[in-house]
Amino acid sequence: MRIPIYQVDAFTERLFGGNPAAVMLLERYPEDAVLQAIAAENNLAETAFLVPDGQDYRLRWFTPGVEVPLCGHATLASAAVVMERMHPGRTSVVFRTLSGPLPVRKSEIGYVLNFPARVAVPVQTTPDVAKALNAVPVELLITDFNYLAILESEHTLRSLRPDMGAVAALDRAGLIVSAPAEGRYDFVSRYFAPVKGIPEDPVTGAAHCTLAPYWGSRLGKTALRGFQASTRGGEVLCQVLGDRVELEGATIFFLEGHVNI
């Protein structure tokens, strides 16, 4: 098979910023082992695999190690491929996924994703989490997918050096870390998921499905501006809509070509 491939930087307005995702267009899905091998070969945080489904598309996401049920930046990248390369002039698309239908619409700065909210509930801080962070959070919350650790300041968050072995040993696949922002953003964050093959993710849309409801409730706001303070960095505009969250971001194409499988 000769398969089209695109690499798109998502949640950024500048090349080499945000989170790079591979997007691959298929006529049908091969065996999962083949999809996983392709994602490992691409060696990006996520590879998105699109298959036509009527006027819309089925969408699956794979890290270098596992398939994941939800991914923001690779969905953003997929929307850019559909609306800028496959169907120029189109302004919306629905992706059929493991997390249900995910509508995406074009905006002035890029695209708006409509995702399910993942509301976190407070738990007691544990020694395992403190060891993983090499810091004691001021608050700890949990979802079915991730821990959310709140730190006292943006400076503490940016200087954090987690113990990746201890993060991988936690009973959740990922660790979201967040703090109040000191500048024009409402909050800053980082995300660690070594068990998925992603020691630190550059910009994590799915994490903002938890961050937006948390900070929205804490700050008394429904519209929020988040910044993920990884080395590449990226901005996510958030809108809390009950049990849904809208995430808005820009994209930039880096690579376009074909792979032979």
Q: What is the pTM of this model?
A: 0.96
pLDDT at residue 1, as a whole number = 84
Closest CA to 195 of 229, 156, 144, 145: 145
Give the pLDDT confidence of 127-144 residue by residue, as tens digits: 999 999 999 999 999 999
**Once rounded to an integer, what is the mean pLDDT over residues 112-121?**
98
| The dihedral sign for the CA sequence 88, 46, 100, 52 | positive
Give the pLDDT confidence of 18-52 residue by residue, as tens digits: 999 999 999 999 999 999 999 999 999 999 999 99
Q: Which domains does the chain have, with CATH numbers?
A: 2-111+248-260 (3.10.310.10), 121-242 (3.10.310.10)
pLDDT at residue 236, as a whole number = 98
Q: pLDDT confidence of 105, banded at 50, 70, 90?
A: very high
Roughly how many angstroms between the first and final C-alpha of the chain, as a whole number? 5
Closest CA to 6 of 32, 33, 55, 44: 44
Structure tokens at 212: 């937006």
Structure tokens at 153: 């300041």
Average pLDDT, the chain: 97
Catalytic residues: 46
pLDDT at residue 183, as a whole number = 87
**Once rounded to an integer, what is the mean pLDDT over residues 72-86?**
98
Neighbour count for residue 191 (Cβ, 10 Å) = 25
Decide if 36 contacts 196 (C-beta within 8 A). no
- Bridge partners, residue 241, by sequence: 244
Give the pLDDT confidence of 138-178 residue by residue, as tens digits: 999 999 999 999 999 999 999 999 999 999 999 999 999 99
Report d(CA 12, CA 4) in Å as an integer.
23
Decide if 15 contacts 9 (C-beta within 8 A). yes
Closest CA to 48 of 97, 117, 115: 97
**Once rounded to an integer, what is the mean pLDDT over residues 189-198?**
96
| pLDDT-above-70 percentage for the chain | 100
Neighbour count for residue 31 (Cβ, 10 Å) = 8
